[in-house]
Amino acid sequence: MDGITPLDALIEHFNALPGIGKKTAMRLAYHVLDMDAARAKSLAQAIVNAKERIGLCRICYNISDTDPCRICQSTRRDKSVICVVEKPQDVAAVERMRNYHGLYHVLHGVLSPLNGVGPNDIRFKELVERLADGTVKEVIVATNPNVEGEATAMYAARLLKPLGVKVTRIASGLPIGGDMELADEVTVAKAIENRREI
Amino acid sequence: MDGITPLDALIEHFNALPGIGKKTAMRLAYHVLDMDAARAKSLAQAIVNAKERIGLCRICYNISDTDPCRICQSTRRDKSVICVVEKPQDVAAVERMRNYHGLYHVLHGVLSPLNGVGPNDIRFKELVERLADGTVKEVIVATNPNVEGEATAMYAARLLKPLGVKVTRIASGLPIGGDMELADEVTVAKAIENRREI
């Protein structure tokens, strides 16, 4: 009669994960009980492993189980380009595309004065330091196309251009497969503003 | 360069859970990386604990971390009634209602000749054994209201009635808050067939 059973405890843990409601948490917990023991142990171990073995790369601040990360260590990457992103998931998104061969820099946030996030609260200084030896010729700012992402891009441009690097911004416009009719007006405006001759 | 990183391993484990697609698995894995270490360990431990400490009650075959389970051990439950369900989740559903005070019996399946599931493949014999001492006066068959659940209920009635117990079946009809217009015809037919005077 300790009040909380191991099953309740597991349901609560699952329920605490983002996007996992009470019902899904219950379904997952019962599924774990149905798994064979080795499989359940392996799931638990994967959680511990990920947490223990993954840290931040000392160069680009992406998550990695090696330091520097595999991308920073690679001899096949173009060291003259850095793609700046908000979070590690964004590196994964660009890598999935398979045709970007430069390096990355993960800011771990965006400038957001309203939320009290200034340049010193994200990995901005570390980005500037990487430009010191002159290897990097271009910085592609791939923060999200929203107010904070744009502000961060503007700030980066103002700060980095004087250092002699080209600062570029990812294009905004209609997503491939998108629909003019369904697109919001800001996106349509951007798509027209950024039109190019064909 | 072992091919699979701890992050990929964790994503795969999450992706293997029911109803968790690739994108959700990635979101969950990144969330684990963001958790503090103690919390992640606690999640992993909850999985191991649930698996190691939960087994089946020797009386009702519900999942439990005690044996017999708390319900079978309780002196406050009515031992003259057994509610027969398909799976442990169904016990949880009835318990949530908070006004059933009898015992349970979990079959761990339903009769399904097409899938080769006969009475010996579910905990049927164990149910019959529980009726031997004459304490039980009523067996409520709460298998799901579908073909297999009904067949199981019919089988139970035929087998248990001769032993002198009352065998009842949960009602089928429109769910509370349901809508005649949206209900399927079999449910509407059942609701009308099972009508009662008011």
- DSSP assigned state of A167: E
Q: Which residue has the higher pLDDT, B52 or B1?
A: B52
Residues in chain A closer than 8 A to B51 (CB atoms): 32-33, 35, 37, 40-41
Measured in angstroms, the CA of B90 and the nearest CA of chain A are apart by: 11
pLDDT digits (tens, 9 = 90+) for B113-160: 899 999 999 999 999 999 999 999 999 999 998 889 999 999 999 999
A22 inside 8 A of chain B by CB: no
pLDDT at B91 over 50: yes
Q: What is the mean pLDDT of chain B?
A: 91
Give the pLDDT confidence score for residue B1 in this predicted structure: 38
Task: Average the pLDDT over A166-170 and give the result.
Answer: 91
Where residue A164 falls (left for φ over 0; alpha for ψ -120 to 50; beta otherwise) is: left
Residue with tokens 């992640």: B40
pLDDT-based confidence at A50, cuts 50/70/90? very high
Query: What is the rounded CA–CA span in Å between residue B122 and residue B139?
Result: 17
Residues in chain A closer than 8 A to B37 (CB atoms): 51-52
Lowest mean pLDDT among A142-146, B7-11, B14-18: A142-146
Q: Are B135 and B78 in contact (CB under 8 A)?
A: no
Give the pLDDT confidence score for residue A3 in this predicted structure: 64
pLDDT digits (tens, 9 = 90+) for A90-120: 999 899 888 899 999 999 999 998 999 999 9
Q: Are A106 and A88 in contact (CB under 8 A)?
A: yes
Residue B141 phi/psi, 5-degree rounding, is -90, 110
Strands A102-106, A78-85: parallel, antiparallel or unpaired by DSSP? parallel
CB pairs under 8 A between A and B: 123
pLDDT at B86 over 50: yes
Give the pLDDT confidence score for residue A171 in this predicted structure: 86
Task: Average the pLDDT over A15-25 and give the result.
Answer: 95
Judge: A46–B10 Cβ closer than 8 Å, yes or no: yes
Judge: B65–A30 Cβ closer than 8 Å, yes or no: no
pLDDT at A2 over 60: no
Q: What is the pTM of this model?
A: 0.80
Q: ipTM of the assembly? A: 0.81
Give the pLDDT confidence score for residue A1 in this predicted structure: 39
Crossing angle between the packed helical segments A37-53 and B22-34, to the nearest 10 degrees: 50
Identify the three-state secondary structure at position B76.
coil
Residue of A nearest to B39 (CA): A13
| C-alpha distance from residue A12 to each of A18, B50, B58, B126, B154 (Å) | 12, 12, 26, 32, 38
pLDDT at B161 over 60: yes
B49 inside 8 A of chain A by CB: yes
Strands B166-169, B138-141: parallel, antiparallel or unpaired by DSSP? parallel
> In the structure encoding, which two tokens stand for residue A100, read together?
């970007």
Residues in chain B closer than 8 A to A40 (CB atoms): 47-48, 50-51
Residue A176, Cβ density class (10 Å: 0-12 exposed, 13-18 middle, ≥19 buried): exposed
Measured in angstroms, the CA of A147 and the nearest CA of chain B are apart by: 23
pLDDT-based confidence at B3, cuts 50/70/90? low
pLDDT at B197 over 80: no
Strand order in the sheet with B166-169: B102-106, B78-85, B138-141, B166-169
pLDDT-based confidence at B12, cuts 50/70/90? very high
Pick from A14, A47, A66, A89 the residue to mutate for testing the B interface (most B CBs within 10 Å).
Answer: A47
Query: What is the rounded CA–CA span in Å between residue A24 and residue B20?
Result: 10
